[in-house]
A = this chain, B = another copy of it.
Amino acid sequence: MSPINLSIDCVVLGFDEDQKLKVLLIKKFINEKNDYQHALPGDLVGLNEDLLTGAQRILNSLTSIDNLFLDQFSVFGDPERTNDKKDQSWLKMYRKEPKERVVTVGYIALVKMEDYIPHASSFAIDAEWVELNKVSSELAFDHNLILNNGIEYLRNQLDHELVTNLLPSKFTLSQLQNLYEILLDQKLDKRNFRKNVSKDILIIKTDEKQQGVAHKPAHLYTYKNSEN
């Protein structure tokens, strides 16, 4: 019998029409008085469940979509990570052994927010997208740390395939650049950006153009997946 519990916490990032990068947080009560706190969606790993499968299960149960990207980025094993008063308060409500240590594996996902229909899972009273710069600095457990680590990891992993997956199947280069800028939180040079994109043989110019925009319509591009 080992008193170390293993959990997975998912940093689920999405972006939407208002051009903000958001993270999916759940809201949960930490006592009987309706006090609540926000947390990353996460849960204990199933007894016989592979970690990636577990991450997918947890993510899917919270977002009901297939993930576009899901990657393990770190383990958080500070023995004190669940000992904060608020965290203990919550654990006492939901876990048989609230004092047992929980080591958690961080997974990061990047999803199309428009595809997402949020529904809160068992102990979550709400699941909502929160702009990154509006995220409380007092998330449950060490979730602020996990979130920051996850974002940093993601920024190092960005590539055209991953990013185009967040766009409609036909997209403009400005949409793509804009998305990179949001994800990296950094302005990019338009001409240099297009020079790079043009070297990627998987990004293909279609015959179509934007319709009904009050300016010169942009060409639409598509990402050619290697299995196509």
Contact = CB atoms under 8 A, between A and B. Distances in A.
Interface of A: 1-6, 44-45, 47-51, 72, 74-75, 77-79, 97, 100-101, 103, 105
A4 B105 CA distance: 13
Given A50-B79, A75-B75, A79-B48, A5 B4 contact: yes
A48 B79 CA distance: 6
Contact of A2 (B6, B49, B74, B79): B6
B45 A4 contact: yes
Can you tell how many copies of this chain the complex includes?
A: 2
8 contacts: A2-B4, A47-B101, A49-B79, A50-B77, A50-B79, A51-B77, A72-B75, A75-B75
A75 B47 contact: no
Given A1-B3, A4-B2, A75 B48 contact: no
Contacts of A2: 2-6, 44, 100
Nearest to A46: B79
A103 B5 CA distance: 11
Contacts of A105: 75, 77
A53 B105 CA distance: 18
A6 B3 contact: no
